[in-house]
Amino acid sequence: MPRKDTYFYLKFAAQFFIKMNIQNTIETAVKEAFKSIYDTEINSVEFQATRKDFEGDITIVVFAFLRFVKGNPVEIGNKIGAYLKDNVKEISDFNVVKGFLNLVIADDTFINDFNNIYSTENFGITAPNPAEKAVMVEYSSPNTNKPLHLGHIRNNLLGYSVAEIIAAAGNTVYKTQIINDRGIHICKSMLAWKLFGDGETPESTGLKGDKLVGNYYVKFDQEYKKEIAELVTSGSSEDDAKKQAPLLLQAQAMLLKWEAGNKEVVDLWKKMNQWVYDGFDITYKELGVDFDKNYYESNTYLLGKDVVANGLKSGIFYRKEDGSVWIDLTADGLDEKIVLRSDGTAVYMTQDIGTAIERFKDYDLKGLTYTVGNEQDYHFKVLFLILKKLGYEWADNLYHLSYGMVDLPSGKMKSREGTVVDADDLMVEMVNTARDISEELGKLEGYSNDEKESLYKTIGMGALKYYILKVDPKKRILFDPKESIDFNGNTGPFIQYTYARIQSILRKADFDYNQKTIEVPLHPKEKEVIKTLQQYPEVIQNASKNHSPALIANYTYELVKAYNSFYQSVPILGSTNQDEKVFRTRLSQKVSDTIKSAFGLLGIAVPERM
């Protein structure tokens, strides 16, 4: 049985021949056959991919014809097959198994298609149409009170890859994040640093700024818990102690000062946030992601209040007796949602309404994708519905790229307790694991130390990214670093190794394999490789529509499997037939080009040697 996380890929793969131009030719000929043989007109032909245990490249379901003509399915299939073989040059042979007519496509059809693929620059990639509006993809969106962690890694890898895939499908794409740089959690880190930091800086400690600030977020929680315990010992209830702990009261007071524009607090906020931004930039660079524009919550948290005021006048929202403003979505299967508190302050929903509208003003967008964990599924249902009720037509083109959590064998992460899996530390661990495994295999003779370190990084980061992206976004992941770095199976290193193997073949080719178009009889394994290559453009389009890098990842694995089966079955450079040697080298090159292209959409590098 196939792995569940490859289901959507395999479902598409079973249909890929239906997308070929030859389908139209065959369908027309089948209709002519029925008119000629049975004097009957049919209005459709049902195709499917040929089962691997049957001979053929595309299958027609004969059972579907029984509503037009009566008879034995095998006899009908043989008559239609004979007609197609005689009248369609692309069909070289056929066979009938029960009610299925399996057609064998002529070699020259595959070769002509491959020659077109080979000569197509950036095969599979569609250039953006300047006349079309752009798409925006939001991802990362961290808080400035702690470093990025494993959950952020999945978020960033998904968002970045989806943006690249949507662009490859022919769209202009803007990548963005909203940085959560204000609020009580930010003040907790600031207060802890002010009380316990003794003037520490990233420079004085040698720590990245986001790590330094994150340490003080943990410190706040530690000291806060001590105060709660002391208050409980003195006779307070735990609930009262949590509300009356001096540290929390000071943090709340600091937030009020920030909102009032107190210079001392604002200056401290700017300084510590900049430490975090600098730290984030290093992490993003190591992770290989980037952004076209940053939005900051400190600039957007007041957005949306005017929209709510206008919606209140038009009856979309209503005011309760305490002065708070709500929207009633019960008729839509949801609930009532607050959009303004009784004191007139905004909630996150208000801010998200305003920010969405702002983005469509900033850019000429046709759609916006939010990469946010599945714990916010309901929030985005409400947000999109409110925007639609407010009359924004583009609300229909908003998409929540919802994803499951990432767990490690060691268990769940908690930021306040300092038990999160730090993104930087995980990336270092991946590179170190790649180093250990590579050195055990002992295949790096002749590499300089710099070349080795570069390769370890390529393998380690490729393993991390592929392991996360090959899984359907909606599914929760249990991530095992060592399991991800395996040179066999559906892993990044296995695919990278195949790419490097092909580069070795191309370096050894002492002849010009680009000079002419070659037509040779095809081995069945060559046909399988060409069939898989043919899928690439449609896989990109399908991955874009489904916002699923898993389709790209698992397609690449299928391509590599088909190539390795070909590699093990026929000689390439060792062929005694020069035309075969040229064709197989060209086929190898196009496979490697497609691997590199597909992995590029996943943000994964490929090594020239391995």
Mean pLDDT value of segment 376-401: 97
In this structure, the number of other CB atoms found within 10 A of the CB of residue 443 comes to 12
Of the options 1.10.730.10, 3.60.110.10, 3.40.50.2300, 2.40.37.20, the CATH number for the domain spanning 423-601: 1.10.730.10
Contact 527, 499 (CB under 8 A): no
pLDDT in tens, 64-103: 999 999 999 999 999 999 999 999 999 999 999 999 999 9
pLDDT in tens, 465-524: 999 999 999 999 988 888 888 888 899 999 999 999 999 999 999 999 987 677 889 999
Query: pLDDT at residue 338 above 60?
Result: yes
How far from the centroid of its chain's Cα atoms is residue 384's Cα? 22
Distance CA 486, CA 437 (A): 9
Q: Which single residue is written with the structure tokens 């090959």? A: 470
Mean pLDDT value of segment 93-119: 94
pLDDT of residue 21: 67
pLDDT of residue 49: 85
Q: Which single residue is written with the structure tokens 């720590």? A: 207
Helix then strand count (H, E) for the chain reads 23, 14
- The residue among 340, 416, 392 whose CA lies nearest residue 149 is 416
Query: Could you tell me the pLDDT band of residue 9, with boundaries at 50, 70 and 90?
Result: very low
Burial per residue of 181-213, b for 16 or more beta-carbon CB atoms within 10 angstroms, e otherwise: bbbebbbbbbbbbbeebeeeebeeeebbbbbbb
Contact 65, 35 (CB under 8 A): no
Query: Could you tell me the pLDDT band of residue 14, with boundaries at 50, 70 and 90?
Result: very low
Distance CA 33, CA 77 (A): 11
Q: Give strand ranges (E) for 511-566.
A: none
What's phi and psi for 341, nearest 5 deg? -70, 170
Sign of the C-alpha dihedral computed for residues 286, 287, 288 and 294 taken in this order: negative
Identify the three-state secondary structure at position 15: coil
Distance CA 36, CA 297 (A): 70
DSSP character at residue 396: G
Query: pLDDT at residue 17 above 90?
Result: no
As to burial, measured by CB atoms within 10 angstroms (0-12 exposed, 13-18 middle, 19+ buried), residue 267 is exposed
Contact 332, 389 (CB under 8 A): no
CA distances from 177 to 135, 273, 297, 316 (A): 14, 16, 10, 29
Beta bridge partners of 149: 422
pLDDT of residue 93: 97
- Entry pTM: 0.90
Distance CA 432, CA 511 (A): 39
As to burial, measured by CB atoms within 10 angstroms (0-12 exposed, 13-18 middle, 19+ buried), residue 169 is buried
Q: Give strand ranges (E) for 79-200.
A: 91-97, 100-105, 134-138, 173-179
Contact 17, 49 (CB under 8 A): yes
pLDDT in tens, 423-472: 999 999 999 999 988 888 777 778 899 999 999 999 999 999 999 999 99
Residue ranges per structural domain of the chain:
4-105, 195-295, 423-601
Query: pLDDT at residue 6 above 70?
Result: no
Same fold flag, 4-105 and 423-601: no
How far from the centroid of its chain's Cα atoms is residue 429's Cα? 22
Q: Which single residue is written with the structure tokens 């070349």? A: 451
In this structure, the number of other CB atoms found within 10 A of the CB of residue 304 comes to 26
- β-strand 365-373 against 398-403: which pairing, if any? parallel
Of the options 3.30.1360.70, 3.40.50.300, 3.40.50.10470, 3.30.420.40, the CATH number for the domain spanning 4-105: 3.30.1360.70
pLDDT in tens, 289-333: 999 999 999 999 889 999 999 999 999 999 999 999 999 999 999
